[in-house]
A and B are shown apart, each in its own frame.
Chain A
Amino acid sequence: MESTSTTALADLVRRAQKGDESAQRELVVSYQHRVAGFVYAMTGRSDYVEDLSQQVFIKMIRALDRLQAPAQFESWLFRLARNTCIDQLRRQKLRRIFLPFGEEHENIPEPPGAVDSEELDALRHALAQLRPQDRALLALVQEGRSHAEIAETLETSVAAVKARLHRAREHLREHYQPEHET
């Protein structure tokens, strides 16, 4: 069953690589919610989700013909998503350094009322305390990526991924406090 869906995905990716617009559309529709969730977990900002997800899929369409192994499309797509989010967070940090009083709205955290439960609030708060790279690691695991795939994405070893993941989970637990004072 698993291999059937993998084959179907690889076929879809091959059609999209040849410029078939309906295949490209199908890929976007299939992955848009997962990518949007990943972007939100990475940035913690709902106003970034649409824009960054759009950037990810535009990059996907433009770079699709360079993807050598269509079966590895998912991990490749989430690598694009990770890099796009990290670039955005880096740009945002630089902008804060050079324009400390400029775009103040960028520093406003998501209002607590915008999320559903206190545990969700606590998770967002805890994630915001982590480095973007650690956030990406945890979000990739939640996305279902294997340690080997993450190691390939980060160009490192599986052992290093496990160690970094352990540390990231520790940090997350340190900052995770449901009903924290906001």
Chain B
Amino acid sequence: MNTFASITNPNMKPEEHAWRELQEHASAQLRGGFADRVLRTARGPQDESWRALFAVGSRQLRPGFAERVLRAARAAADMPSLASQFALSAATAAVCLGAVLFVHHRSVEAADERNLAQWQEIVAVAHEDDAGAGL
């Protein structure tokens, strides 16, 4: 029954007219293919959608991808690894520490020798003085 028919139907109560109009207004809001959309949403994504998604991704690779990967892998292999860089740093630090200790040891030794020589001079002078006083 259409709106005009329902309005013109003298047997229909006013609230029934109102309900019918409300229903018709609401159903007019639904776009075409409503049932299909509801079913698609309820079923969730289908395999074709997934395939299309993966296909979009695979189209993003520029030609020559494999060559670029192999070149980059070679360049990465030529670069020293983190472990070897760490080992080199540790070896350098050890050599520097050894050099510092060696220089320090040598300078302490030289100072000791100098002090001893000076001390021996003083002792010799003291002996001479004692010998002179004994005369």
Residues of chain A whose beta carbon lies under 8 Å from any beta carbon of chain B: 21, 24-25, 28-29, 32-34, 36-41, 46, 49-50, 53-54, 57-58, 61-62, 115-117, 119-120, 122-124, 126, 142, 169, 172-173, 176-179
Asked whether B61 lies within 8 Å of A33 as measured between CB atoms, the reply is: yes
Residues of B contacting A28 with CB < 8 Å?
Answer: 65-66, 69-70
- CA of A53 to CA of B72 in the docked complex: distance in angstroms? 12
Given A32-B58, A123-B50, 19 more A-B residue pairs with CB atoms under 8 Å apart are A25-B67, A33-B58, A37-B54, A39-B57, A40-B60, A41-B53, A41-B57, A46-B60, A50-B61, A50-B65, A53-B65, A58-B73, A61-B70, A116-B52, A119-B40, A120-B49, A120-B52, A142-B50, A172-B44
Contacts known (A37-B54, A40-B54, A117-B52); A176 close to B41, Cβ less than 8 A: yes
Q: How far is the CA of A38 from the CA of B55 in the complex (A)?
A: 10
Take A32-B61, A46-B60, A178-B37 as given contacts and tell me if A123 and B53 are in contact as well, using a CB distance cutoff of 8 Å. Answer: yes
A113 to B75, CA, bound (A): 37
Tell me the bound Cα distance from A142 to B70 in angstroms: 28
Nearest opposing residue in chain B for A119, CB measure: B49
Question: DSSP class of B's interface residues: helix, strand, loop or mixed?
Answer: helix
Complex interface: chain B residues within 8 A of A32 (CB):
58, 61, 65-66
Structural contact, A173 and B56, CB atoms closer than 8 A: no
Please pick, from A40, A57, A117, the residue contacting B73 in the complex, using a CB distance under 8 A: A57
Other-chain contact of A40, B42, B56, B70 (Cβ < 8 Å): B56
A37 near B53: Cβ-Cβ < 8 Å: yes
B80 within 8 A of A: no
Per DSSP, chain A at the interface is helix
6 smallest beta-carbon distances between A and B, as pairs? A40-B57, A37-B54, A33-B58, A49-B60, A37-B57, A173-B44
A142 and B66 alpha carbons, distance in the complex (Å): 24
Q: Is B62 an interface position by the 8 A CB rule?
A: yes
Q: Does B77 contact A (CB under 8 A)?
A: yes
Within 8 A of A (CB), among B69-87: 69-70, 72-73, 76-77
Residues of A contacting B42 with CB < 8 Å? 173
A6 to B93, CA, bound (A): 51
The answer to the question of B68 belonging to the interface, with a C-beta cut-off of 8 Å to chain A, is: yes
B46 contacts chain A at the CB level, 8 A cutoff:
yes
B134 in contact (CB, < 8 A): no
Which one of B46, B61, B67, B77 contacts A49 once the chains associate, using CB atoms below 8 Å?
B61
Task: Decide yes or no: A177 and B60 within 8 Å by CB, A21-B70, A54-B69, A57-B69 being known contacts.
Answer: no
